[in-house]
Amino acid sequence: MTFDALIWVLLPVFIAAGSALLSFYIMSARMEVAVAREREAVAETRATLKAQEATAVERVKAAEQEARRKSLDDFMQDFRVEERHYVRENKSLLLHKKSVVLQERLYFRNIPLSNWVEHEMTIEEGGDPQQLARGVSVFSTRGLSDEQQGAVSRLLGKVNEAAENVQAVTPFVGNPAASR
């Protein structure tokens, strides 16, 4: 065979091999682009899921704290103080004494938690027994000062931290569903 005939036979083979190699590199580049796009989409989805998971955990904690606060408020509303007062007069030859007797008792729902606590206050002539009876209560419901509120909030914060630490150490105590 002649050299010209050999070139005409091998030329299509070289062109086919070159075309195959060129299409291989083009397809490889396309696949890398597609894989990169898929990885980017997966990374975005994972980031979204992590953010939603963190948000859900925060919402659950907030809901638990709100439920605790509400249950404590409901519990505290079940306490009540029953008061009664009357005027007592002690008459003797030399002394005429008038006093207001205030009696109070602490109840949880309808269960008495204390005995009757009695306060006796002497009334001056012309004094108002209702006004006198208001400020002496043992179970008074007057508001706390700012300093006392700060101390109470610090104490409640420490109690909440201690409760969370106990729950972190003993996750299965008191939760039968978790131990199954």
Q: Are the beta carbons of 113 and 138 closer than 8 angstroms? A: no
pTM score: 0.44
Name the more confident of 32 and 171.
32
Question: Which pair of tokens denotes residue 88?
Answer: 């007592």
Question: Which helix (H) or strand (E) element contains residue 131?
Answer: helix 129-134
Q: Are the beta carbons of 101 and 119 closer than 8 angstroms? A: yes
Q: Are the beta carbons of 102 and 137 closer than 8 angstroms? A: yes
pLDDT at 175: 47
pLDDT at 158: 67
| Extents of the domains making up the chain | 1-77, 79-142, 145-174
* pLDDT per residue as tens digits for the range 107-123: 998 899 889 889 888 87
* pLDDT per residue as tens digits for the range 39-88: 999 999 999 999 999 999 999 999 999 999 999 999 988 988 899 888 88
pLDDT at 179: 45
Burial class of residue 10 in the structure, from the number of CB atoms within 10 Å of its CB (0-12 exposed, 13-18 middle, 19+ buried): exposed
